[in-house]
Chain A
Amino acid sequence: MSPLYLARSKDIAARMLGDEMIIMSARDSTLFSLNEVGSVIWQAADGATPLGEIVERKICPEFDVEPEEALKDAEEFVRELAGHGILVISESPLGESRSKK
């Protein structure tokens, strides 16, 4: 399976509050809230690190989950966020300009 790269959309505003990441779509003002695991993936979405590596290095050791299961869930998660337009995903690395801190 090809690696999946992810970058935060430019059209969002986001802030970490406690252990939740609150994201607001600037396009339609929709509000999203990510839990701790989702927040880790969101923060690691730099356009250059494949999702598999994020899961292996940041999710599995921290949250004690099986790599295969975690990657499956993470893929489902990032595709859902991409569907909402707040994350950009690609099978090739994404430029920094596409992502937003």
Chain B
Amino acid sequence: MGQLAMAAYQVCIDIGGMPILVHTDNDEFARLLEDRYGKFVTADRPHAVTELDIELIKPGIVCDAEDVCVRRDAGRWVMERGDFRAEWDPQCHRGWVRQTPRPYAIDAVLRILHSLILAREGGFLVHAASAVRNGRAFLFAGVSGAGKTTICRLAPPDVVLLTDEISYVRGFRIQDSGFRNQESGVRSQNEDGQATLSPATCTSSLTPDTWHLTPAYAAFGTPFAGELARIGENLRAPLAVLYLLAQGPENRIEPVSDAEAVRGLLRNILFFAQDEELVEMIFQTVCDFVRRVPVRRLVFTPDARVWELIT
């Protein structure tokens, strides 16, 4: 794959404040990536957290694995499915993907990569819809059929959808004044971009009398769409509540115990690798998350009035 380091085209896909620079020799595939990831394509190439070289092969079976298989081998992560084989070296922040020209393969690789990177960053990908209202993010977690897409379809116009399928959650230090106004707050955070993503950078570059830092969690928009077939907005907001979805005859919010919250959240987190270190990290993150972010059960009936409860 070494020759692709000089690939003709580069597309930088920034999801969750983690830009990944994709190299390809195929202009058609580069355009396909730009179209598919739209608002998530950025010019911020120097800040890419990792780089991927793409080798396209003719449509067909790349490997025998039907389901996604992710394993660690000599310090590298190996990812396989019928339509791709990929390797990623977390030390060098570089990897390669051998895949058919269809976009589903790179989409799966990006999800896996982000889940691996996030685990070390105190975050996770979760089967949940997410949306921003009044500058605060709300997550609606549930398995397929729980109502994630339905909740999104019922959302009133003042709600900004982040995703109807896979939510992106990161531990974060919030600039207290940064999220007061949804539009200006979120946008200005995005403009600051890398300067505020690292807690270490935050504490060294901000003065205590002008900024108040609060450890919390933030939700980011993702291009990982479900039935809605619409990519989310590329913005982030502090997480206000995580709702575990349950369908019922009426709309109501119920409390859940911490243990129930941990169980409910873990059931919906994307685990691609049965890796002991990874599982331990995610478990600890989820326990911390439940201490800091309110988790409730949202019983709802497919009726727009459910959004009267989400404020």
Contacts and interface: CB of A to CB of B under 8 A. Distances in A.
Task: Determine if chain A interacts with chain B.
Answer: yes
Interface of A: 11, 13, 15, 17-18, 20, 22, 24-29, 31, 33
Interface in B253-292: 257-259, 262-263, 266-267, 271, 274-277, 279-280, 283-284, 287, 290
Given A15-B284, A25-B279, 4 more contacts: A15-B262, A17-B287, A18-B259, A20-B259
Ranked nearest first, the 3 interchain pairs of A and B with the lowest CB-CB distance are A26-B276, A13-B283, A20-B259
A25 B283 CA distance: 10
B266 A27 contact: no
Given A17-B287, A27-B274, A33 B280 contact: no
Given A15-B287, A17-B290, A27-B276, A22 B259 contact: yes
Residue in A24, A25, A28, A33 with the greatest tally of chain B CB atoms within 10 Å? A24
11 contacts: A13-B280, A17-B259, A17-B287, A22-B259, A22-B262, A22-B287, A26-B276, A27-B276, A31-B263, A31-B266, A31-B267
A15 B283 contact: yes
Given A18-B258, A24-B266, A11 B276 contact: yes
B279 A24 contact: yes
Contacts, number: 45
Contacts of B257: 17-18, 20
Interface residues of B, number: 18
A33 B263 contact: yes
Contacts of B279: 13, 24-26, 29
A33 B262 CA distance: 10
B122 to A, nearest CB: 15
A24 B258 CA distance: 15
Contacts of B266: 24, 29, 31
A17 B271 CA distance: 22
Interface string B54-65: 000000000000
A22 B277 CA distance: 17
A17 B276 contact: no
Contacts of A33: 259, 263
B98 to A, nearest CB: 28
A20 B275 CA distance: 25
B262 A26 contact: no
A1 B284 CA distance: 39
A27 B259 CA distance: 21
Nearest to B284: A13
B274 A28 contact: yes
Contacts of A28: 274
Contacts of A22: 259, 262-263, 287
Nearest to B262: A22
Interface string B216-236: 000000000000000000000
B116 to A, nearest CB: 15
A37 to B, nearest CB: 15
Contacts of A20: 257, 259
Contacts of B267: 31
Nearest to B271: A29
Nearest to A32: B263
A91 B131 CA distance: 55
Contacts of B274: 27-29
Q: Which of A22, A25, A33 has the most CB of B within 10 A?
A: A22
A17 B280 CA distance: 16
